[in-house]
Structure 1
Amino acid sequence: MVTMSIDSLQVGYGNRQVLHDITVRPLTGGKLVGLLGPNACGKSTLIKTIAGLHQASAGEITITGVTDRPGYVPQGLPDGVALSAFEAVLIPARRSATDPLQATAAIIHELGLDAIASRQLGELSGGQRQMVALAQMLVTNPQVMLLDEPTSALDLHRQLFVLQTVKQRAVDSQALALVAIHDITLSARVCDELIILHDGQVLAQGTPTAVLTSQAIRQVYNVDADVFPHRDLPVVIPTKVATPKAVHA
């Protein structure tokens, strides 16, 4: 089974330290894990470091039970690439699938992208490019899936569809999925476990019910909120915005 743990991880850019002594208890396959926190708290940096796109200055990421590299979905694909949506998905399929054309056609159809398959990436909306990026990852069937705010440009229906699709893939293949996400209530609805980052550190890790408390919301987002149980899941209702936090440089 896939497992991943993080011990005392530190990551920075030049003189700016972004992640400070990040420690994450072991995460196991078959789950969708949500990564929460405000802007500039280090969510994207953590995702990219696990994906191997950033180098840690200290600490260790341990992934066991895998035979391939983690799959990675960025916040969005560039629009200046001279490729169609189908071609963009075919490229990673050629590295992993026995029949790349069939695998590409299958994932394009599964994600409902048939109508845009022949269109150039530059002709697509931000949300459509996010869906193509998801297809690029899923076509490789990775055992660890890393998604950096994959629903930021999607409507509610597509947000749920994407997260439920990733979760089902994790369950079916016993893969581990880690997704950076801003929508607190949506994360509680879909994710099996949540990790909350605050000021470059892990504030809380556990089930949505355990970590989504009024105190945590206040500390992390500077927002007063009521948290109500609904069908055994927490629903967060903001009640007051406190003094705005300074924007990080």
Structure 2
Amino acid sequence: MQDNERPRERASGRDSSAAGADEAASRTALDADELVVGYPTTDEPVIDGQTLAVPEGEVTALIGPNGSGKSTLLKGLANRLEPDDGRVLLDGRHVDSFDSKELARKLGRLSQQNTAPDTISVEELVERGRYPHRGFFESQTESDERAVDEAIAMAGVEHLRDREVGTLSGGQTQLVWIAMALAQDTDVLLLDEPTTFLDPHHQLEVMEIVEALRDDSQITVVLVLHDIAQAARYADNVVALRDGSVYARGPPETVITRPLLAEVFDIEATVIETDYGPQVVPIEPLGDDEAV
């Protein structure tokens, strides 16, 4: 395993030399300790005894081939799958000790599959993100309205506010779901493949939202990405998984390397250093005996 915890100096201009930066970098929002997670339908765990610390106020990207355990790890961190062993701590507290609403005020998760009635309006869907902050019979408050307005504005879907969700394109719908997650107003946000199936324009919109959450709101973001270039450009930390294990972790420039791409993704590739992080140029697939 490769393991490098050196903080990354980002082109976004965050001042890592500011007072308290070293102390802030040492804090973690989520900690997985010897985590074992699987599914009732499988004999063996998908994630088997993995330890991971997610730095507070940073973006951490989980990368790896299909079936490597990225989404399963995310579900384990979100307490959506009960671990067979190990523990997950949120701000130093066992994640399963929170009741559902309390947890939803601290941690938000957007999955790959999201469904809503086609006839619900964008504004109504985003308002659903406020449920952890209200009692069952309480009506929407000024604080709720402000949070919804801010979420819609940040996601760039103000022009869609009165549209029915069923009339939106795939990219527009994804932005609306992200707006709902933003309205939840949590300290930690977990996103499972938020850019998959989106065109380049909407992919960039989503990643700019992630960047703004970190830079403007100091929200901790953990997201699963298939696009290695996105992970290299926008993430402070990259965690590469292979067969349910953490193969490497650290800043993008130390993780996204030719040897890792061969070992984890089974591809021969060239890695080019740019102002936007390492860029990967795939060349050819590798057989098992060719990986280096």
Is the TM value for this pair above 0.5?
Answer: yes
Q: Which amino acid in structure 1 is aligned with residue 38 of structure 2?
A: G
Structure 2 equivalent of residue 19 of structure 1: 47
In 2, Cα distance between equivalents of 1:167 and 1:108:
16
Residues 182/232 of structure 1: CA separation in 2 closer, same or farther (3 Å cut): closer
Alignment pair present for 1:52 and 2:52: no
| Unpaired stretches in structure 1, ≥5 consecutive residues | 245-249
In 2, Cα distance between equivalents of 1:131 and 1:76:
14
Scaled by the length of structure 1, the TM-score of the pair is 0.89
The structure in which a higher percent of residues are strand is 1
In 1, Cα distance between equivalents of 2:54 and 2:44:
28
Alpha-carbon deviation of 1:79? Answer: 5.1
In the TM superposition, what whole-angstrom CA distance separates every residue of 1:167-223 from its partner, at most 9, and x where no partner exists? 222233332110100000121011111000100010000000111111111111111
Scaled by the length of structure 2, the TM-score of the pair is 0.76
In 2, Cα distance between equivalents of 1:13 and 1:40:
13
Structure 1 equivalent of residue 272 of structure 2: 228
The partner residue of 2:231 within 187, 208, 219 is 187
| 3-state secondary structure, aligned to 1:40 | coil
Alignment pair present for 1:63 and 2:90: yes
| 3-state secondary structure, aligned to 2:106 | coil
Q: Which amino acid in structure 1 is aligned with residue 51 of structure 2?
A: T
The farther-off stretch of 34-43 and 95-104 is: 95-104
In 2, Cα distance between equivalents of 1:230 and 1:214:
15
Structure 1 equivalent of residue 34 of structure 2: 8
- CA contact 1:2–1:175 (8 Å) conserved in 2: no
Residues 106/233 of structure 1: CA separation in 2 closer, same or farther (3 Å cut): closer
Aligned-residue sequence identity (percent) comes to 32
When the two chains are superposed, the root-mean-square deviation of aligned CA atoms in Å is 2.2
| Unpaired stretches in structure 2, ≥5 consecutive residues | 1-26, 94-101, 134-140
- CA contact 1:9–1:60 (8 Å) conserved in 2: yes
In 2, Cα distance between equivalents of 1:81 and 1:157:
24
Residues 59/98 of structure 1: CA separation in 2 closer, same or farther (3 Å cut): farther
State the number of aligned residues: 243
Alignment pair present for 1:168 and 2:212: yes
The partner residue of 1:83 within 120, 129, 146 is 120
The farther-off stretch of 59-68 and 69-78 is: 59-68
Alpha-carbon deviation of 1:86? Answer: 1.1
1:1-249 matches, within 5 Å, as: 3-14=29-40, 15-24=43-52, 26-64=53-91, 68-78=105-115, 80=117, 82-96=119-133, 98-231=142-275, 233-243=277-287
In 1, Cα distance between equivalents of 2:117 and 2:236:
36
- CA contact 1:76–1:150 (8 Å) conserved in 2: no
- CA contact 1:76–1:133 (8 Å) conserved in 2: no
- CA contact 1:31–1:167 (8 Å) conserved in 2: no
| 3-state secondary structure, aligned to 1:17 | coil
Structure 2 equivalent of residue 247 of structure 1: none
Alpha-carbon deviation of 1:227? Answer: 1.1
Q: Which amino acid in structure 2 is aligned with residue 72 of structure 1?
A: R
Q: Which amino acid in structure 1 is aligned with residue 170 of structure 2?
A: G
- CA contact 1:34–1:193 (8 Å) conserved in 2: yes
| 3-state secondary structure, aligned to 1:150 | coil
In 2, Cα distance between equivalents of 1:47 and 1:37:
13
Q: Which amino acid in structure 2 is aligned with residue 46 of structure 1?
A: L
The farther-off stretch of 143-152 and 9-18 is: 9-18
The runs of at least 4 consecutive aligned structure 1 residues that moved more than 6 Å come to none
Greater Rg over alpha carbons, structure: 2
